[in-house]
Structures are given as structure tokens and as C-alpha cells.
Amino acid sequence: MASASLETIESEITHLFSISEFKPEQRKIFEAILEGRDCVAVLPTGFGKSLPYHAIISAKRQQSVTFRVIVSCPLVALMEDQVSRLRSLKIRALYKGKSRETDEQVKRGDFDILFASPETLVGDEEWRDAIKEIDVSLIVVDEFHTVTEWGENDKGKVAFRKWFRHLGELRSLCPYAALLAVSATCTRKVYKKVVKLLNFKEDALVIRMSPNKRLLRNPDSKAIIIATSTLGLGLDVANCNSVIIYGLPKSVIDLLQEMGREGKDGRKSVAIIVYKSTHLRNANEEMRNVCTTNMCRRQELLSTLLNEHELEELSKSTHDHHSCCDNCERNCSCCHCEKQGIEEFYIDDNADKCSKESDSDTLSNSGVEEDCCIFYR
């Protein structure tokens, strides 16, 4: 495609989606899709990972080319959220299961983007046969870390949702479609497994950014949302600048997803993790290390996601930075560290409880029984 043509298309897209321009990583994904090339993208929460495959529909329309996208999505709430947004932009987006009429529309191939669960796409024989008859140009696996996190057996237990592990079969159902997998959190171990399970081609483009985010102080929240950990899987929550997580997530991947809901607007933010000794005992080794380390928690948290060079660069950027985590603040000698907002409220309230209750069932690193909390700023 000529550069001038691409510039014209991008101008139309930025106008449609009300953005000034593509971010460099978004542009790389978009161009990979245009070229029909497989792509793996690990980008921070709130980055706009879905924009390239949303925008491709507009681009192909300008070329008078039919282009259909199938998106494997883990949650109906995510499907509804994206379908609503896309339909407001005149993109024919559907999700399987909304109604009998919608399902018939899908089988006719009368859509631009289809959202469906792995259980439908590869676990339902009727729908497997239907998908074979549809000319699909792009397969998207959203939140691809769930392929192993949810699709594999955990210490002999039955897999939470086994069909996630079989999503690679879509390559045989849609043999001419390119594959895009996106996630905000992916350890090196999970990445190797997912690339194999999804049958990525050898020349797949890999785009990866550190999940590290500057989570600073002084939250200014005006509303409270109480939700399960599902909120961490990509639902848009505007102006969220503080998060309290009660209990330890299953893994550092889950922790990063849950923390990632705040600070998406670039404003100063804080995340607080509150846990008890029972949570600590049931946590995996990576989570225990994050909780019990006396060093930088951010470094420990990201040690399974970044390589040695990236960790070294992270260490330089957070050295003597008291707004990194509670340990960094504790080890800081600037004498200007001040707790504000929700931090101050929680710590003062917790201190009162600890002075009154000596029979708490929680245990701090110092051996004193008390409620524990961790801050990421």
C-alpha cells in the first residue's frame, strides 16, 4: 500500500475514533494486520490495544474490501462494552448469544467484528461448522494470558475453562486468517506457552512494553465502585485513581490486571493491597515474594515479566524514588515523604484497630499481629 494512501486512511480513522494519532505500537499492530501478518502485543492496561483491530474495519471499507474479525473474549461484560462502543461508530459488531436473531446474522457472515467465548468458537460443534463457512480475515485472542491461566489444569484440579487452551484450533477453522493476541500482562513462561498453543507463525511480529506504571500519590476519586477481580480484565472505568484490593490475587498477572484499572488517565494514583496471614499462606510463591520482600516491591513484581536488561533499567529509574512502593518510601531519606488521601485514611484507621485488637489473625513481617497493606504509587 502506498504511504499516501495509508496517510489518508489514518486521517479518517483518527477522526472516527477521536484521537490525534496512533501511538507507535498501535501503528505497528495496525500495519501488521494490513499485511496479514501474525502479531503478539503485550501492552500496559489502558493503552488502547483494541484500537488497531477496531480501526482496520474503517480502513478496509475505504478500500472497498470485505474484512471480518472474530474476537475470542473471556467475558460477556467485555463483549457488551466493546459492541456498544463499536456500533456507535457504525461498525457492525455483534456478540454470540445476545439473541437468536443475532446468532442467525452471525451464521450468515453479516458482521464486521464478532465477539464470542472460546466455549463457542472451539467448544461447540455447531459453531465450529458455522465458522468454517465464514470468510474470516483476522482472529483476535483478547487477554491471551487466560489461555494458560484459565485453560490449564492447576495442580491436578480441573481447568477453570478448558477451551481457552484449544483456541489454537481456530487456525484450522479459519486457515487464511491472520492472528493477533493482546494482553496487558504476560510472564516469559506464559508467553512461550501461548505462542505454541496458538500456533503462531514464525515471522509473527512481537510488540512488548513493560507493564511498569508510575503509580503516584494524591488520589482524587469522587465515586466508589465495588467489584470482583473481573473488573481487571479490561472494562473501562473512567477517572479511577485509587484501588483497594482485598486479599491476594492468584498470581502477579492477576495483580497487575487489578492494579491496572487506576491511573489510565495519567493522573497521580495509588493502589493498596490488604491481606491477612491466611491469604499469604494460600498465595503462590511469586505473590508471597512480593508481599514479604524488604526491597523494592515493583522490582519483585516485575521480575517474572522483564528480562535482566529491562530490570536493570527499571532499577535505575526507581532508585531512591520514594513514590515507588511502601518499601522504597520506608528506605527513603529525603524527609519529604507524605501520605495523602486514601493512604492516610487507611493507615490511621488500621493503626487504631491494631492498638485495640491484639487477637487479630494477621501477621506483619515483624511478627506483630496486625492487618497488613502494601502501597504502589
Query: What is the per-residue pLDDT across 4-59, written as a single tens digit (0 to 9) for each?
Result: 467 788 888 988 998 988 999 999 999 999 999 999 999 987 788 999 999 999 99
* 28 against 220, higher pLDDT: 28
CB distance 118 to 166 below 8 Å? yes
- C-alpha distances out from residue 316 to 234, 290, 293, 320, Å: 30, 19, 19, 9
Bridge partner residues of 183 (DSSP): 42
Domain 3-208 grouped into CATH 3.40.50.300: yes
DSSP annotation of 112 reads S
pLDDT at 370 over 60: no
Across the chain, what does the average pLDDT equal? 79
The angle formed by the CA atoms of residues 80, 86 and 88, to the nearest 5 degrees, is 105
- Give the least confident one: 121-135, 144-158, 174-188, 283-297: 144-158
* 272 against 13, higher pLDDT: 13
Looking at residue 271, what is its pLDDT? 80
Looking at residue 367, what is its pLDDT? 38
- C-alpha distances out from residue 252 to 62, 98, 241, 248, 297, Å: 42, 33, 20, 9, 11
Longest dimension (CA), the chain: 72
User: Where are the extended beta strands (E) located within the chain?
Assistant: 39-42, 69-72, 93-95, 113-116, 138-142, 178-183, 205-208, 242-246, 270-275, 372-376
The angle formed by the CA atoms of residues 360, 361 and 362, to the nearest 5 degrees, is 95
List the domain boundaries for the chain.
Answer: 3-208, 229-376
Confidence of residue 179 (pLDDT cuts 50, 70, 90): very high
Name the 3-class secondary structure at 108: coil
Report the pLDDT averaged over residues 237-263.
75
Q: What are the tens digits of pLDDT across the range 95-132?
A: 998 888 999 999 999 999 999 999 999 999 999 999 99
Residue type, 104: E
Distance between CA atoms of residues 172 and 19, nearest Å: 36
Residue type, 131: I
Distance between CA atoms of residues 318 and 112, nearest Å: 44
pLDDT at 233 over 60: no
Confidence of residue 354 (pLDDT cuts 50, 70, 90): very low
- C-alpha distances out from residue 164 to 43, 68, 122, 167, 263, Å: 21, 21, 9, 6, 30
Q: Identify which of 141-155, 183-197, 229-243 has the greatest average pLDDT.
A: 183-197
Q: Identify which of 90-99, 203-212, 216-225, 356-365 has the greatest average pLDDT.
A: 90-99
Q: What's the order of all strands across the beta sheet hosting 69-72? A: 93-95, 113-116, 69-72, 138-142, 178-183, 39-42, 205-208
- C-alpha distances out from residue 142 to 113, 248, 329, Å: 13, 24, 36
Looking at residue 33, what is its pLDDT? 96
Instruction: Tell me how far apart the terminal alpha carbons of the chain are, to the nearest angstrom.
Output: 44
Looking at residue 35, what is its pLDDT? 94
* 309 against 73, higher pLDDT: 73
Among residues of the chain, what percentage have pLDDT more than 70? 73
CB distance 242 to 260 below 8 Å? no
Looking at residue 273, what is its pLDDT? 85
Looking at residue 104, what is its pLDDT? 93
pLDDT at 221 over 90: no
Looking at residue 220, what is its pLDDT? 47
pLDDT at 266 over 70: no
Report the pLDDT averaged over residues 60-87.
90
Pick the closest to residue 251 from 185, 194, 299 (CA basis): 185
Confidence of residue 158 (pLDDT cuts 50, 70, 90): low
The angle formed by the CA atoms of residues 344, 215 and 220, to the nearest 5 degrees, is 50
- Tell me if the pTM is above 0.85: no
CB distance 103 to 97 below 8 Å? yes
101-123 exposure pattern, b = at least 16 Cβ within 10 A, e = fewer: ebbebbbeeebbbbbbbbbbbbb
Pick the closest to residue 169 from 199, 140, 195 (CA basis): 199
CB distance 198 to 179 below 8 Å? yes
Confidence of residue 215 (pLDDT cuts 50, 70, 90): very low
